Chains A and B, each alone.
Chain A
Amino acid sequence: MTYTSAKPPLPETPEQLRARIPGWGADLDPRDRPSVPREVFSPGTTGAHWDLPEQQPELWPRERSIEHSRLTPVFGTAQPPKALSGVLRKYAYRRFSEGRAAHWLILIAADRVDAVESHLASFATLHPDNPITETGVLAEPGAHPIASRRGRVDIRHQTLDPVIVAGPWVVGGWLAFRVARGVARRLRA
């Protein structure tokens, strides 16, 4: 086989498969498969009763991909850009198309800035971020933490997760300590 024209034999016949597996072959005919062919032109069947949807009001300058010629008729309004991360995000959208790595790398960088900004801002509220409860690690004792992980390959990098989560907090704490000490020294001097 393979080196001849024969197809390697299958362990079970269609009759055996049909008997063993409920529904075997129900969609054998591609015409029964809902996504075959990929494109079927049928605009009247979607429930839409418009050619072009009405425009959702734009309540602030909505950032958008420069590969769009206009603001889309409908768009999400969750979490408008704000602070430094917002400046970065608006720049990434205004300046670079989706085809440019810079577009996505700036957005990823803005995500990290956003996390830092938001953690700091939360300390000025009654609801400061708490990495213990927010990472869900408190679920560990009830979730068979040792048995669940025995012999798994992904443990090697799971051990990195705490570093990724706690690292910025440790660095941030150290920086805060250095700044506070500097200020204290200066006040004493």
Chain B
Amino acid sequence: MRAMVYRGPYKIRVEEKDVPRIEHPNDAIIRVTLAAICGSDLHLYHGLLPDTRVGHTFGHEFVGIVHEVGPSVQNLKVGDRVMVPFNIFCGSCFFCARGLYSNCHNVNANATAVGGIYGYSHTAGGYDGGQSEFVRVPFADVGPSVIPDWLADEDAVLCTDALATGYFGAQLADIVEGDVVVVFGAGPVGLFAARSAWLMGAGRVIVVDHLEYRLAKAREFAHAETLNFTEYQDIVVEMKRTTGWLGADRAIDAVGAEADGNLLQHLTGAKLKLQGGSPIALNWAIDSVRKGGTVSVMGAYGPIFSAVKFGDAVNKGLTLRMNQAPVKRQWPRLFEHLQNGYFKPSDIVTHRIPLEHIAEGYHIFSNKLDGCIKPLVVPNAG
């Protein structure tokens, strides 16, 4: 089969690999029909996440057709059209039993602090991902769902991460009616978080980024006000000014480890790997939110320390909430919202890239060229 393969920082290619095998009785093998590249993949691509091995196939956002099932699989059959949450989870451990699917204890031998994620390095369990023609899906009775007939593949693939994560991020912000919500980052996660903040009754939603074309999308798709942080001497002061000097009630970090806006933080975090990421957006969130407010962190950070302004968070009495999104828990309610026609997830898709050209796709998405917001990957496109 053809598969995307990591060759070292900033380098990937498509290779011939063996079709994955059933390795556990509850495994399934899925033939991927559509995948996506996520902002999280860029952290891997840039060599930021420890134990990213040469030969690894990325991809944690994918939908496909069941190709083979293990002997204990009951809920799926060959030929089913399925969507697969980015989390690998067992459904029965201490954490899964409590709904913390992204924190499963039974799937990641490499790290107890991290759950299992498809194609997300050995730090997330050492599973090859879905930017390929076939992928091994453990716990087939627990993770995947048959895609409802009314849901198109392009919308379903966004439910496997970006949309579910943005929706989850808005929930962690503890929004009450009339709250002013600021979202840092106008990538897919930020756009969906901003859109979801309205569902929870936000009174104002402000999206911060520096890419004008993404801010335009935030105004149009997420109905948000926008701030380009490069136009202000100090974005924290601007946030205070625009909120009557109170600060936002809630802030969502949808940027993560490779934030821009402070060269020293960016270089030590994202380039020299001296910290677990550059927490610029997180620090802006901590400083922009009002005392007693909430910061919801959806942005991903590496496992080593980062220079976070913790003292400010303590002194302001903030609530910091965060996690990898437990994706499948979001689906039933999200499906209701989609069926009500509140919005269409695939409106943020900008690129559809054949698997064979995935190196170019990563380059465009990583450098934010050509108006790129969300690139999809199409196996067998030829």
- Which residues from 1 to 29 on chain B have a C-beta closer than 8 Å to any C-beta of chain A? 7-13, 15, 23-26
Contact between chains at B128 and A48 (CB < 8 Å): no
In the assembled complex, the Cα of A130 lies from the Cα of B261 at a distance in Å of 33
- Which residues from 74 to 127 on chain B have a C-beta closer than 8 Å to any C-beta of chain A? 74-75, 88, 90-92, 96-101, 105-113, 116, 122-123, 125-127
Contact between chains at A115 and B54 (CB < 8 Å): yes
Q: Residues of B contacting A76 with CB < 8 Å?
A: 109-110, 116, 122, 125-128
Interface size on B, residues (CB 8 A): 110
Name A8's contact: one of B126, B243, B364 (CB within 8 Å): B243
Min C-beta distance of B209 to chain A, whole Å: 11
Interface size on A, residues (CB 8 A): 102
> Binary interface profile of A, 69-96, with partner B (CB < 8 Å = 1, else 0)?
0011111111100000100010001000
Tell me whether A43 and B97 are in contact in the complex, defined as CB-CB below 8 angstroms, given that A48-B92, A131-B11, A134-B13 are known contacts: yes
Q: Residues of A contacting B116 with CB < 8 Å?
A: 74, 76
- Which residues from 108 to 163 on chain A have a C-beta closer than 8 Å to any C-beta of chain B? 108, 110-112, 114-115, 117-119, 122, 127, 129-131, 133-140, 142-145, 148-149, 151-154, 156-158, 160-161
Tell me whether A33 and B359 are in contact in the complex, defined as CB-CB below 8 angstroms, given that A78-B128, A101-B305, A114-B54 are known contacts: no
In the assembled complex, the Cα of A137 lies from the Cα of B57 at a distance in Å of 20
A51 within 8 A of B: yes
Min C-beta distance of A78 to chain B, whole Å: 4
Q: Residues of A contacting B96 with CB < 8 Å?
A: 43, 46, 48
Name A53's contact: one of B100, B106, B199 (CB within 8 Å): B106
Contact between chains at B92 and A43 (CB < 8 Å): yes
Contact between chains at B369 and A145 (CB < 8 Å): yes
In the assembled complex, the Cα of A165 lies from the Cα of B74 at a distance in Å of 47
Tell me whether A17 and B203 are in contact in the complex, defined as CB-CB below 8 angstroms, given that A34-B333, A35-B171, A53-B26 are known contacts: yes
In the assembled complex, the Cα of A157 lies from the Cα of B123 at a distance in Å of 27
Interface-central residue, A7, A52, A74, A133, by most chain B CB under 10 Å: A74
Name B199's contact: one of A23, A52, A131 (CB within 8 Å): A23
> Binary interface profile of B, 313-343, with partner A (CB < 8 Å = 1, else 0)?
0000000000000100110111001001111
Q: Residues of B contacting A104 with CB < 8 Å?
A: 50, 302-304
- Which residues from 230 to 279 on chain B have a C-beta closer than 8 Å to any C-beta of chain A? 230, 243-246, 260-261, 263, 266-267, 270-271, 273
- Which residues from 1 to 52 on chain A have a C-beta closer than 8 Å to any C-beta of chain B? 1-2, 7-8, 10-12, 14, 17, 20-28, 32-36, 38-43, 46-52
Which A-chain residue is minimally distant from B96 (CB atoms)? A46
Tell me whether A28 and B11 are in contact in the complex, defined as CB-CB below 8 angstroms, given that A78-B57, A78-B128 are known contacts: no
B177 within 8 A of A: yes
Which A-chain residue is minimally distant from B140 (CB atoms)? A47
Contact between chains at A98 and B112 (CB < 8 Å): yes
Contact between chains at B139 and A154 (CB < 8 Å): no
Q: Residues of A contacting B172 with CB < 8 Å?
A: 35
Which B-chain residue is minimally distant from A70 (CB atoms)? B109
B149 within 8 A of A: no
B374 within 8 A of A: no
Q: Residues of A contacting B53 with CB < 8 Å?
A: 78-79, 85, 111, 114
B168 within 8 A of A: yes
Q: Residues of A contacting B56 with CB < 8 Å?
A: 78-79
Which B-chain residue is minimally distant from A111 (CB atoms)? B52
Contact between chains at B126 and A10 (CB < 8 Å): no
In the assembled complex, the Cα of A47 lies from the Cα of B364 at a distance in Å of 39
In the assembled complex, the Cα of A26 lies from the Cα of B201 at a distance in Å of 8
Offer 5 A-B interface pairs, CB within 8 angstroms, sorted by A.
Answer: A34-B329, A51-B92, A63-B109, A133-B13, A153-B230
6 closest Cβ pairs, A-B complex: A136-B363, A76-B126, A8-B244, A48-B91, A115-B8, A46-B91
- Beyond the given A33-B333, A34-B329, please list 18 additional residue pairs across the A-B interface where CB-CB is below 8 A: A2-B246, A10-B178, A24-B201, A25-B177, A27-B199, A28-B201, A67-B112, A79-B122, A79-B126, A98-B111, A98-B113, A111-B52, A114-B53, A129-B7, A135-B10, A143-B363, A148-B367, A157-B266
**B-binding residues in A (CB < 8 A):** 1-2, 7-8, 10-12, 14, 17, 20-28, 32-36, 38-43, 46-54, 56-57, 62-65, 67-68, 71-79, 85, 89, 93, 98, 101, 104-105, 107-108, 110-112, 114-115, 117-119, 122, 127, 129-131, 133-140, 142-145, 148-149, 151-154, 156-158, 160-161, 164-165
